[in-house]
Amino acid sequence: MTRYVFKMPDLGEGTVEAEVVAWHIKVGDMVQEDQVMAEVMTDKAAVEVPAPVSGKVVTINGQPGDMVRVGSELVVFETDAADDDVVAPAAAVPATAPAQPAEVLSSPVVPATSPAQAVEVTSEAGQVSGRVKASPATRRKAREAGIDLRQVPGSGPSGRIMPKDFVAAMSSAAPPGMKGGSAVAPSLLQQRTGTQEIKVIGVRRVIAQRMTDAARTIPHFSYVEEIDVTELESLRAHLNSKAPKGTPSLTYLPFLAAALARVLEEFPQCNAHYDAERNVLIRHHPVHLGVATQTADGLKVPVVRHAEARTLWDLSDEIRRVSEAAKGGKASREELSGSTITITSLGRMGGIVSTPIINAPEMGIIGVNKAIDRPVVLDGAIAIRRIMNLSSSFDHRFVDGYDAAAMILALKDLLEHPATIFIPG
């Protein structure tokens, strides 16, 4: 037998350590080459780590939530090879790279967001031979619920298990007294006892750290403005009615994106990054628009690049594409980084006012609240108009309150007269 030492690989871009999010193996397990052993996470991406060899797991280093340095021992195997002890190299592999062949030990990492993310399973009665395809979030939920994903039929591409497939499996597996995986309360007045401890790991840990850093280091200047979007709603409805059948409807977001790209030409200080290490402000000429998106793994910010050069329908398509990629766990590292300013919207849940936290190192974030019909005074008379608030936050170190308010007022002017969004200045 040969002792095979596998070390935490170099995940690129200066990564010195990675967090263990979940293990799919345990000491004593027999694993097959290319079988997914663990999910790890850097500040940039979630990554699945496949077994470099077939053999028996002897030791595992790191519990979920632990940080393991690149080059540190991760898993030790016993293999049938006749050579002396072998140490698997910690090779640099981009988290967005496609899965490499199992025999290429210098490229042992498969990105968790890759279509190739999978676990080899053995063909048995009632099971499907091949790869079980599911997102890391679905795998985690399955482990917590005790659901064997090999028994769940997938409706996605190549049999990929989609969130709706998992929900259906949860519902069918729910015991009496449960519905949809949730307990039905026997009484509204029944006392509840106990607590639940949830370890903060993975994407949620990264979100928590970044939000804490942003709130602690950036003095936020918040500004809320009321926007009359009656004319915008009329234009939106008209364009949707003229679109070919089957075309996804326009929302307010592409109009906001188009207007924001115009306004930022006048307020370049709001389309910038602050490099704290060099103490330098970097003003960006292109508008790479971050779109805050709620996913099963937490909040992600996919990026619409060069919003300033896109048509309205192109903006709509790209916002939808990157948002769906983020929700489905398919967004690449490039698609989740590099934004210069961010918009965030809770849609119909948008409330009246919000206080969005800046997506550092950016200078500003624009929050969209819900649009409602309200009575207002217009030309001396009461009229029903559609009103929507924009809640914005700016880095007050580098964006003065006057400039922040002036930018939002300029945005307001375009949105209240939407035809002017598309007229060259």
Distance from CA of residue 399 to its chain's centroid?
27
The helix (run of H) or strand (run of E) holding residue 369 is: strand 364-378
Q: How many CB atoms lie within 10 A of CB 233?
A: 18
State yes or no: cis peptide before 361, omega within 30 of 0: yes
**What secondary structure letter does DSSP report for 423?**
S
| CB of 283 closer than 8 Å to CB of 271 | yes
Radius of gyration of the chain measured on its C-alpha atoms: 25
Rounded Cα distance between 172 and 367, Å, is 39
Strands 2-7, 110-111: pairing is unpaired
Nearest in space to 54 (alpha carbons), one of 29, 74, 72, 73: 29
Nearest in space to 276 (alpha carbons), one of 370, 384, 189, 398: 398
Query: Is 396 known to be catalytic?
Result: yes
**What secondary structure letter does DSSP report for 406?**
H
| CB of 377 closer than 8 Å to CB of 325 | no
Rounded Cα distance between 80 and 56, Å, is 9
Query: Is 400 known to be catalytic?
Result: yes
The helix (run of H) or strand (run of E) holding residue 424 is: none
Tell me the β-bridge partners of 229: none
Give CA angle at 112 (106, 116), nearest 5°: 75
Catalytic residue from among 220, 284, 396, 403: 396
DSSP codes of every residue in 53-105: S-EEEEEE---TT-EEETTSEEEEEEES--SS-EEE------TTSPPPPTT-T
Catalytic residue from among 66, 80, 213, 400: 400
Rounded Cα distance between 181 and 213, Å, is 36
Tell me the β-bridge partners of 381: 378
Nearest in space to 67 (alpha carbons), one of 16, 17, 22, 23: 17
Q: How many CB atoms lie within 10 A of CB 9?
A: 25
Which are the catalytic amino acids?
396, 400
